[in-house]
Amino acid sequence: MNQQGAETEQDLRARVPDERRATLAALELAATLSHFDQRLDRMEGVDSILRETAAKAQGLVEMQSWAFFLVDPETGDFTCALTDGPEDRLRFEREVDALIEDRTFAWVLGRNRAVLVPSGIGAAGRLLLHPLATSSGLWGMFVAFTGEGAESTDLGFYLLTVVFFSCASMLESYSLYRQLQQVNEGLEQQVADRTRELVSINSSLEREVEERSLAEQQLRRTLNEKESYRQHLEAVFSSIQDAIITVDLNGVVLNINAAAEKMLGIPAAQAVRMHHTALQLPCARACQDVLGATLGSGTPVREFRAVSEDGAQVMILGGTPLISLDGTFSGAVLSCRDITRLVSLEQQLRQRHSFSNIIGRSKVMQSLFGLLENLAAYDTTVLVTGESGTGKELVAEALHYNGARSGGPLVKVNCTALSESLLESELFGHVRGAFTGAVRDRAGRFETAEGGTIFLDEIGDISMRIQVLLLRFLESKEFERVGDTTPRRADVRIVAATNADLHRRISEGTFRADLFYRLNVTSVHLPPLRERREDIPLLVQHFVEQCNTELGTRVAGVDEKAMAALVRAPWPGNVRELKHTLEHACVLCRDGYVEAGHLPAELAAVESPPVRFDAAVSGPVSAAAGGAVPQPVAGGFGRRQLDARSITAAIEQAGGNKARAARLLGVGRATLYRKLRELDMSI
Q: Residues touching ligand ATP: how many (CB under 6 A)? A: 20
- By CB under 6 A, residue 52 contacts ligand ATP: no
Q: Are 459 and 497 in contact (CB under 8 A)?
A: yes
Q: Write the binding mask 354 to 393 for ligand ATP: x where contact by CB under 6 A, - elsewhere.
A: ----xxx-------------------------x-xxxxxx
Mask: binding to ligand ATP, 474-513, rule CB under 6 A, as x and -?
A: -------------------------x--------------
Q: Closest approach of Cβ 390 to ligand ATP, in Å?
A: 4
Radius of gyration for the chain, computed over Cα atoms and rounded to the nearest angstrom = 67
Quick check: 668 binds ligand ATP (CB under 6 A)? yes
According to CB under 6 A, which one of 575, 647, 651, 676 is a site residue for ligand ATP?
A: 575
* DSSP H stretches of helix in 528-595: 536-551, 560-568, 574-589
**Window 432 to 461, contacts with ligand ATP (CB under 6 A):** 457
Closest Cα partner for 354 from 334, 368, 340?
A: 368
Span near ligand ATP by CB under 6 A; candidates 56-64, 133-141, 180-188, 663-671? 663-671
330: helix, strand or coil: strand
Is there a contact between 548 and 554 (Cβ–Cβ < 8 Å)? yes
CB of 389 to ligand ATP, least distance (A): 5
The candidate with the shortest Cα–Cα distance to 176, out of 303, 59, 41, is: 41
Minimum distance between the CB of residue 614 and ligand ATP, rounded to whole angstroms? 20
Q: Which is nearer to ligand ATP, 337 or 576 (CB)?
A: 576
666 is a site residue for ligand ATP (CB under 6 A): no
* Cα end-to-end distance, the chain, whole Å: 175
Residue closer to ligand ATP by CB (options 138, 654) is: 654
Between 120 and 668, CB nearer to ligand ATP: 668
* Chain Cα centroid distance, residue 438: 68
Nearer to ligand ATP, 393 or 447 (CB): 393
Q: Min. distance of Cβ 570 from ligand ATP in angstroms? A: 16
Q: Which of 671, 673, 674, 675 binds ligand ATP (CB under 6 A)?
A: 671
The dihedral sign for the CA sequence 146, 148, 151, 155: negative
Distance from C-alpha of 69 to C-alpha of 116, rounded to nearest angstrom: 17
Using CB under 6 A, which of 361, 430, 579, 674 touches ligand ATP?
579
Closer residue to ligand ATP in complex, CB, 317/459: 459
Distance of CA 323 to the CA centre of its chain: 24
Q: Where are the beta strands (DSSP E) in 57-136?
A: 63-71, 78-83, 115-118, 126-134
Comparing CB distances to ligand ATP, the nearer of 394 and 515 is: 394
Decide if residue 576 touches ligand ATP (CB under 6 A): yes
The DSSP letter of residue 379 is: -
Q: Give least dist CB 413 to ligand ATP, A.
A: 12
| Beta-carbon count within 10 A of 224 CB | 10
Closest chain position to ligand ATP (CB)? 668
According to the binding rule CB under 6 A, does residue 319 interact with ligand ATP? Answer: no
Count of alpha carbons within 13 angstroms of residue 210, beta-carbon side: 6
Q: Is 394 in the site for ligand ATP (CB under 6 A)?
A: yes
Q: 288 Cβ partners below 8 Å, 6+ apart?
A: 276, 277, 281
Considering only residues 67 through 106, tell me which ones interact with ligand ATP, judged by CB under 6 A.
Answer: none
- Residue 75 φ/ψ, nearest 5 degrees: -100, -25
Question: 496 pairs with which residues across the strands?
Answer: 383, 456
CB of 387 to ligand ATP, least distance (A): 7
The reply on whether position 670 binds ligand ATP by CB under 6 A is: yes
**CA gap 125, 113 in Å, rounded:** 19
* 3-class SS of residue 511: coil
Binding positions for ligand ATP, rule: CB under 6 A: 358-360, 386, 388-394, 457, 499, 539, 575-576, 579, 668, 670-671
